Chains A and B, each alone.
Chain A
């Protein structure tokens, strides 16, 4: 399948949901997308449903995702499971800065600083070599999250309700806002995706993928020693109630046994993090999206088969502030993305737009994800449904031909 090159790209934080969404379209499922990437798929005929948020299956329980997003509790569970993790302690920005410096000196610089609670594998300040750099990292975390460009919050993440702090007249995070200081370990950075009991992907990521875009990543799944995959699976099991995880290691050599080298789990995310695999190839991330989908469909009792990338759907967007102009934006997107669109029907009172679409599943998924996220020329829907239909009816009625 071709990469999406026309129109807005899929943002990094939407990648997981997008890949599973596209896979669901390819599997011929009826698809409903709600705000914040809640995807509900339905088997045509049986009516059985399987749902996802950010590409994470419904079997992800609320308590466990909350623990996965709290690095102090997550570290405690991993320590209990005898998993190798770097030395680390959490501190508050209000009273813990000196303690953080004392700890950093005790374990020895360099260290890593990251928010203690919230989305994993973002805002990781690595390679901090002295007190001044530590101050600078903490200073960046003092900025309220909504004003930090690097900040994201999962749809199930905790909402900050504490009163913000104030410093020299500017609004900052509350004094109780916590951050984690960990030893910075030297070695190869390896991300492993575990789904269920199996490790499905291993990618070497140079640099610090927690803050900068990943570049020069390479797939090494076939070369990773099985004991490292075992360790990743054990990491997932240490937080029971999660169907998958992205487990990041720093290690000496991924080809050697885990017990025969310096190895540590430096990050753990309850989200797949397929944006990393997408930097290797879009096929790799699409394949993993399909894997996540199929595993969950199986547990939900839905039998599905991938029917190829070109699909035909009856597509309906709801609660659009301006459906007529939104239709224009949708048609421009379709024209640029090899998607054929049939005649449109709009309902100004309900803010609804109905279209029949025919084209690559990943482009229809991209269109839908961008529209729900408000990134399609500023238009935002609150619900989009896509129901599989017979392809011929669209092609016959299509007013706009695919551009390629």
Chain B
């Protein structure tokens, strides 16, 4: 036994909530939520980090995103302060098993306690049905939060291995030095399509068996027909001689899998067709036994996040191979993984009994070699997650750094604006103003709504495309060259420049030489700063900028080359003939505290941006531009900048690319305001505009400095000045709607309402999708009162009462609804406030009389 001085202590535990991109894009969701577990180990040699990655994947792992996160935090707190002290591999594994046994029990207890709180008639019915299915062997006994348990266990194994000074594979007990990697194809559940793919496989002749993943989407009769056709094709040698059919049937038909395997016997003894189980059908021993009872299948796909960890996966494989030594075992991790989960899978690959292949879906065949290094042999994957961390908790908490400079704004309303999505805030702010003035609205999408006083024509609004401005004004303003010419004619300061056909690089070079470097290159009809390259110093950089633009999504556009103005970048908002807001925009940066790495500073700053309704979906990105900026100053993500030192991470001022915003309205020199108003008046029918102005010093007169308007935005975002990162927030939406009311002589309330009572009529696919439950959850979270009920097969009705901010936000979010809903419109009118203090789900009045 070691002394206390030699023992290792878990001094701090961290949980990171991250979004991870999918390797196999599905078209709709490009990322998945993972949690990274980091255990800071205080060792006599210093602090080491043990890591694990949780992959909560709903039904596949028994997880739910929000509840799983709570479970993780609760569990990690138990590990804080834990002293790890053992001398052998066996005692280390026993320690991990003991901990995991306890956590599995905790998971069941916590899950049942939470389920008790959510109990409804429907959940009771589902519970009874589920119990029946378990008795019949159609489902396995519940083991909640397996995706989380996988991450916790990985971190414990990493910690244990580090304490022993060995690798995780050595801790697990390696069975082989390497494992082959194979790929597969996912196909539509159509017999002809599947046979076509198998024939193509024969032609391509890749290594390993032909392997198709049917995603549990066949009906039993279709599966039987397919298997017979496949077996027949193999016997005739029209198809590959080794075929794996993965997950032909879903969980509810898993007892039929054995029968399918029997049908797959190839006549005349040639060929080998295997049915592969896995997924929701077989993730643990209970499922394995249920399938084996009928004879079993000849291939098994194991994923540690589904099984609840590496040790559980080993136990599953061990029993499976014992029952059927001919079984082909395959291993993979769920899609959407950082290098932590990938390393954990590789470690398991050399220790998993019976392993035939490691699956690399969508990738290439090859080999996984025995991982080397201590523990998992990897460090925090900051490069992958530094811009996708959406929450970070530590126990004990990390001390807040001393503030340098101004304190960033925090906006409480972000809580009820986040459900609207990254761009939802700007689509909602005007509706909030309209509702607070007593107007009624009809919303068609996250960005589009109409507002009416019931007397005059309604205002038609989509994002900030409104009746305030003309179509002509947008056509002019979205063409930068046209804007520049028009403003120059109106004697407004603009940079000298010209537009070129995107292939006419020779003319652009000659022009740049004539007006002199530095120059700026940008697309003629760009938006959000996409494709803009500033401060181009010479011809080579100009060529590079043309290349970059050509490869961007705006690459087919004409290109503007104009004089670079060495000023600061300001967005100044004009409504009517008045400047109502102004912000200074500077490129993304972090300021050192002398202790934290740049990665930690970036995560901290991005989490701060998440408390800003305009910036929460616009983090500082770790992309090639950030990497380049760091390389320029000899730094990396792991560098620790000195206290107070600012490290630049971009050369773009765009807030969408991580830039900071600071309100400067009160300091703006009158001559600058005059120039902005003059610019807006030069554009026909423009009444709302974001003026992008390059100015050396916004407090000095324009005629004493170099300055120029580089762009007018006729449909400018409202949120950037409404929610600056620093300084005074400005009421842009309020000024916008006031101008609409004035211009169209709408009848509105004399004062803005601080409390609203709204009646919502939601039409579309809203029944049978959990819509009412979703709305109740949102309302309770937002602190709103009222009720919701089904009106008919395609209509839900709700009354929501409470403060204007959250009430109007829920009215906007109603057009989104829960994941499976597809509302087509939401009509919002004003009604009498309810007396109830709660938010209830009521019965349909037509089906239930007046009981609701």
Contacts and interface: CB of A to CB of B under 8 A. Distances in A.
B28 A382 contact: no
Contact of B479 (A36, A56, A77, A318): A36
A179 to B, nearest CB: 16
Contacts of B553: 161, 163-164
A198 interface: no
Nearest to A322: B507
A382 B482 contact: yes
B470 A382 contact: no
A63 B461 contact: yes
B460 A67 contact: yes
Interface residues of A, number: 52
A62 B715 contact: yes
A165 B500 CA distance: 29
Contacts of A60: 470-472
A70 B460 CA distance: 12
B471 A35 contact: no
Contact of B448 (A65, A70, A240): A70
Contacts of B95: none
Query: Chain B interface: which size bin?
Result: 35 or more
A241 B450 CA distance: 12
A319 B472 contact: no
B499 interface: yes
Interface in B784-840: 824-825
B481 A35 contact: yes
Contacts of A351: 498
A52 B472 CA distance: 6
Contacts of A95: 27-28
A321 B475 contact: no
A60 B473 CA distance: 10
A62 B474 contact: yes
A312 to B, nearest CB: 23
A151 interface: no
Given A66-B462, A76-B444, A175-B27, A349 B475 contact: no
Contact of B499 (A63, A94, A319, A322): A319
Contact of B482 (A35, A58, A62, A164): A35
A61 B466 contact: yes
Contacts of A219: none
A280 to B, nearest CB: 27
A239 B460 contact: yes
A34 B714 CA distance: 17
Given A51-B684, A51-B685, A62-B469, A156 B457 contact: no
A313 to B, nearest CB: 18
Contacts of B556: 146
Interface string A69-92: 010110011000000000000000
B460 A156 contact: no
B467 interface: yes
A35 B478 CA distance: 10
B27 A62 contact: no
A76 B815 CA distance: 15
A58 B478 CA distance: 16
A67 B27 CA distance: 27
Interface in B462-503: 462, 465-476, 478-479, 481-482, 485-486, 498-501
A339 interface: no
B504 interface: yes
B135 to A, nearest CB: 36
Interface in B402-446: 444
Nearest to A241: B467
A62 B499 contact: no
Interface string A33-52: 01111101000000001011
B459 interface: yes
A67 B471 contact: no
B783 interface: no
A321 B507 contact: yes
B727 to A, nearest CB: 29
B28 A175 contact: yes
Given A156-B471, A161-B553, A34 B485 contact: yes
A159 interface: yes
Nearest to A73: B444
Contacts of A77: 450
B28 A94 contact: yes
B466 A63 contact: yes
Contacts of A146: 556
- Which of A60, A70, A382, A383 has the most chain B CB within a 10 Å cutoff? A382
B444 A155 contact: no
Interface string B538-565: 0000000000000001001000000000
B571 to A, nearest CB: 19
A322 B500 CA distance: 11
Contacts of A380: 501
A226 interface: no
A282 interface: no
Interface string B506-529: 010000001000000000110110
B690 to A, nearest CB: 14
A375 to B, nearest CB: 13
B525 A62 contact: no
A270 B825 CA distance: 23
B458 interface: yes
A207 interface: no
Given A76-B444, A76-B825, A63 B467 contact: yes
A319 B769 CA distance: 57
Contacts of B466: 61-63
Of A59, A67, A270, most buried by chain B (CB within 10 Å of CB) is A67
B485 A62 contact: no
Contacts of B444: 70, 72-73, 76
A402 interface: no
A370 interface: no
A344 interface: no
A161 B498 contact: no
Contacts of A163: 553
Interface in A129-155: 146, 154-155
Contacts of B450: 77
Nearest to A94: B27
A35 B470 contact: no
B448 A34 contact: no
A180 interface: no
A49 B457 contact: no
A156 B474 contact: yes
A247 B320 CA distance: 69
Contact of A349 (B481, B507, B514, B714): B514
A36 B481 CA distance: 11
A66 B460 contact: yes
Nearest to A72: B444
Given A35-B482, A36-B479, A58-B685, A240 B457 contact: yes
Contacts of B471: 53, 56, 58, 60-62, 65, 154-156, 270
B350 to A, nearest CB: 35
Given A94-B28, A155-B474, A62 B465 contact: yes
A58 B470 contact: yes
B15 to A, nearest CB: 30
B462 A38 contact: no
Given A53-B475, A60-B472, A175-B27, 13 more contacts: A34-B485, A36-B482, A38-B476, A56-B471, A60-B470, A61-B460, A66-B460, A73-B444, A155-B478, A322-B507, A380-B501, A383-B482, A383-B485
21 contacts: A34-B486, A35-B482, A36-B479, A58-B472, A59-B470, A61-B460, A62-B466, A62-B715, A63-B465, A64-B467, A146-B556, A156-B471, A156-B474, A156-B478, A159-B527, A161-B527, A161-B530, A175-B27, A241-B460, A241-B467, A319-B481
Please list the 4 inter-chain residue pairs (A to B) with the smallest Cβ-Cβ separation, ordered nearest first: A155-B475, A240-B457, A51-B684, A175-B27
Interface of A: 34-38, 40, 49, 51-53, 56, 58-67, 70, 72-73, 76-77, 94-95, 146, 154-156, 159, 161, 163-165, 175, 239-241, 270, 318-319, 321-322, 349, 351, 374, 380, 382-383
